[in-house]
């Protein structure tokens, strides 16, 4: 029997000021994230953020989109001016590319998973706003999160997961077409369903951090890749 081909998962790369391997500026994806997709049966491929991408052309042969974590989003994109020195890593090209791909993937009902900054970009893309800096940030915080709904659709066998968080911003006003499915004990949003008629979710935590040892984090990636496999490559 022929071996099943791994579905190709598009991950928009993140600009880095430098790495030891490249010596200069680089485009990166988190190793744990790539490994989580690979271990779930997908083939993660990092894409270069560019201006005015024709995603229909660029994503031919891909089966899903993953919008990863990263630096902060320019507050101008959600109608605010910067009012804290805690904002970091803003890159306008990154923002524009993320915004464009997020909207395209959701509008075209491509299997879609957004993580951390990715979830915040989803909210901004559909008219929401962000808390620029939380009073008590969630950097290096691990806590249990209870899913209020969509447990089965996320591929989870339990409603409570141990979430590894690293963020200092949170959703303020919720964007259109988005549904909160989990919140932290402090009240901020931890997971969203994107009601576009397809499979589309956004998580504030980083499931890749402990997917190698936590069955339930791995279940999310497995379901994401299963959805990609079922959708098949984009023509």
Catalytic residue set: 116, 206, 208
Q: How far apart are the two ends of the chain, measured CA to CA in Å? A: 25
With residues binned 3-state (H G I as helix, E B as strand, rest as coil), the percentages for the chain, rounded to 5, are 25, 25, 45
**Between the CA atoms of 151, 117, 79 and 197, what dihedral angle is there, to the nearest 10 degrees?**
-40
Tokens 């379901």 sit on residue: 223
DSSP 174: P
Q: Are 203 and 190 in contact (CB under 8 A)?
A: yes
Q: Are 235 and 63 in contact (CB under 8 A)?
A: no
């Amino acid at each position: 029997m022929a071996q099943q081909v791994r579905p190709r998962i598009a991950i928009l790369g993140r600009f880095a000021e430098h790495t030891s391997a490249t010596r200069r500026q680089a485009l990166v994806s988190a190793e744990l994230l790539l490994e989580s997709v690979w271990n779930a049966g997908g083939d993660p491929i990092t894409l270069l953020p560019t201006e005015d991408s024709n995603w229909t052309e660029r994503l031919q042969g891909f089966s899903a989109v993953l919008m990863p974590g990263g630096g902060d989003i320019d507050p101008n994109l959600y109608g605010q001016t910067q009012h804290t020195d805690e904002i970091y890593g803003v890159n306008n090209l990154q923002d524009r590319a993320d915004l464009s791909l997020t909207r395209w993937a959701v509008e075209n009902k491509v299997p879609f998973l957004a993580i951390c900054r990715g979830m915040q970009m989803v909210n901004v893309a559909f008219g929401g706003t962000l808390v620029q800096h939380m009073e008590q940030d969630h950097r290096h915080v691990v806590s249990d999160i209870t899913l209020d709904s969509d447990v089965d659709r996320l591929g989870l066998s339990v409603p409570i997961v141990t979430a590894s968080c690293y963020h200092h911003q949170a959703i303020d006003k919720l964007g259109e077409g988005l549904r909160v499915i989990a919140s932290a004990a402090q009240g901020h949003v931890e997971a969203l369903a994107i009601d576009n008629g397809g499979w589309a979710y956004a998580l504030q935590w980083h499931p890749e951090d402990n997917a190698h040892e936590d069955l339930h984090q791995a279940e999310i990636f497995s379901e994401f890749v299963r959805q990609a496999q079922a959708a098949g490559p984009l023509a």
